[in-house]
């Protein structure tokens, strides 16, 4: 039994404080089920899910493989009404929230935007709500919106990032809010888990580490590329979506260097450039001309194991480091 069980493990009824990040395209039923079955918390990335029916199928796909808790991450595209300040979600987001409610998914995560108007419905159904944030003021806003926990993900991480590095962001968010905090961005092993706990977080939120696993929905070349990439091998660019995003540096990112003025605002850049390039990278495996989101954590990853092994290894490493630190 690990000494590293934290209060959020009791809140969510999981064994270990290891959370697999919700990742559009990549985090589907097989990965989520493997992480949850191993004692962590898997999370479906609904960002790229085309419709509510597909999300429902993924949820049922998880349940066919494990009875352990899991999460769904939705990109809450919101527009605040000037009239009553209610949060307005797109029809697609509302339909996906309804599926999460109907299916009684244990945890709902907002990857982008405020989940505020979904909080009451979630609470009625016993569903916990968490928000991914990249800055202290976003964490404060999420808590004011009623979330049960915040996930502070630093700019070291893969995918869309803010400008604050993980080592400063996590303790600053822990100091600013009175709900549990998870730490993400550039963390990929047991040392990262222990560091997160030292910063005052209650667990780790890892994305890139779980892309390079056998169950992730990604082309084999993408997984291998992460395993080969070192800590200097990624770059932050707006070329993918119009928003700052950390990608593996390749011919795609190089082709946009120095052409920032040509990048269209979000979401147009994604529609015209990012989506086809994502298809090339993540699905077709063209690691030079495609988009490959990944964190600086790539430099800590050397292989493509099973996701359950990753969870077990993180816990064993963290326990070993803790034993060394506390040895007389
Ligand atoms: C391929 C990829 C897709 C991502 N998609 C999402 C998403 O849909 N929703 C979200 O909240 N975060 C998304 N993220 C960000 C992760 O939630 C997380 O913050 C990040 O991966 C943590 O850093 P790490 O990659 O170094 O572990 C994505 C990250 C990657 C690498």
- Give the distance (Å) from ligand 1 centre to CA of residue 156: 11
Within 6 Å (CB) of ligand 1, which residues are found? 21-24, 26, 45, 47, 73, 75, 111, 132, 153, 157-159, 184-187, 206-209, 211, 293-295, 297
Instruction: Please state, as a whole number, how many other Cβ atoms lie within 10 Å of the Cβ of residue 200.
Output: 15
Where are the extended beta strands (E) located within the chain? 18-20, 42-45, 70-75, 78-80, 87-89, 107-112, 128-133, 149-153, 159-160, 181-184, 204-206, 234-237, 245-248
Nearest to 143 by CA among 121, 176, 165: 176
| 157, 188, 245, 274, best to mutate for ligand 1 pocket (most atoms within 8 Å of CB) | 157
- Give the distance (Å) from ligand 1 centre to CA of residue 206: 8
- Give the distance (Å) from ligand 1 centre to CA of residue 250: 19
- Give the distance (Å) from ligand 1 centre to CA of residue 74: 12
Q: How far is it, in rounded angstroms, from Cα 195 to Cα 187?
A: 9
Q: What is the DSSP letter of 27?
A: -
- Name the residue at shortest CA distance from atom 15 of ligand 1: 159
Q: How far is it, in rounded angstroms, from Cα 295 to Cα 235?
A: 9
Q: Which two tokens stand for residue 209?
A: 């580490």
For the chain, the first-to-last Cα distance in angstroms comes to 21
- Name the residue at shortest CA distance from atom 30 of ligand 1: 159
Q: What is the DSSP letter of 106?
A: S
Q: What is the pLDDT of residue 105?
A: 98
Distances (CA, A) of 204 to 49, 215, 313: 24, 20, 14
Residue ranges of domains in the chain, CATH in brackets: 7-216 (3.20.20.70), 230-293 (no CATH)
Per-residue pLDDT of the chain (328 residues; tens, 9 = 90+): 577 999 999 999 999 999 999 999 899 999 999 999 999 999 999 986 678 999 999 999 999 999 999 999 999 866 554 455 566 788 889 999 999 999 999 999 999 888 999 999 999 999 999 999 999 999 999 999 999 999 999 999 999 999 999 999 999 999 999 999 999 999 999 999 999 999 999 999 999 999 999 999 999 999 999 999 999 999 999 999 999 999 999 999 999 999 999 999 987 899 899 999 999 999 999 999 999 999 999 999 999 999 999 999 999 999 999 999 988 6
- Name the residue at shortest CA distance from atom 3 of ligand 1: 23
CA 259 to mean position of chain CA atoms: 29
Nearest to 310 by CA among 82, 96, 104, 39: 39
Q: What is the DSSP letter of 297?
A: G
Q: What is the pTM (predicted TM-score) of this model?
A: 0.96
> What sign does the CA torsion over 200, 203, 208, 209 have?
positive
């Amino acid at each position: 039994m690990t000494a590293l069980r934290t209060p959020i493990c009791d809140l969510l009824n999981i064994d270990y404080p290891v959370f697999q990040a919700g990742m559009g395209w990549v985090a589907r039923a097989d990965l989520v089920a493997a992480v949850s079955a191993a004692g962590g918390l898997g999370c479906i990335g609904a960002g790229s899910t085309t419709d509510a029916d597909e999300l429902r199928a993924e949820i049922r796909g998880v349940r066919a493989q494990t009875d352990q808790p899991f999460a769904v991450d939705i990109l809450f595209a919101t527009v605040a009404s000037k009239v009553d300040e209610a949060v307005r979600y797109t029809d697609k987001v509302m339909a996906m929230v309804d599926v999460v409610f109907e299916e009684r998914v244990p945890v709902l995560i907002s990857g982008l935007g405020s989940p505020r108007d979904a909080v009451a419905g979630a609470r009625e159904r016993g569903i916990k709500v968490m928000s991914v944030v990249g800055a202290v003021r976003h964490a404060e806003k999420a808590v004011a919106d009623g979330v049960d926990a915040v996930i502070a993900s630093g700019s070291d991480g893969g995918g869309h990032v803010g400008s604050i590095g993980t080592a400063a962001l996590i303790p600053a968010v822990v100091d600013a809010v009175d709900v549990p905090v998870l730490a993400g961005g550039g963390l990929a092993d047991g040392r990262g888990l222990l560091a997160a706990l030292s910063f005052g977080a209650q667990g780790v939120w890892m994305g890139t580490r779980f892309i390079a696993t056998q169950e992730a929905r990604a082309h084999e070349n993408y997984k291998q590329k992460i395993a080969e990439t070192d800590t200097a091998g990624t770059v932050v660019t707006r070329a993918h979506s119009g928003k700052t995003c950390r990608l593996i540096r390749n011919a795609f990112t190089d082709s946009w260097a120095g052409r920032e003025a040509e990048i269209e605002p979000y979401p147009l850049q994604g529609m015209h450039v990012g989506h086809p390039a994502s298809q090339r990278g993540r699905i077709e495996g063209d690691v030079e001309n495609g988009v490959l989101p990944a964190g600086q954590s790539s430099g800590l990853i050397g292989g493509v194991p099973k996701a359950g092994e990753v969870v077990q290894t993180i816990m064993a490493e963290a326990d070993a480091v803790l034993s060394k630190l506390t040895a007389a």
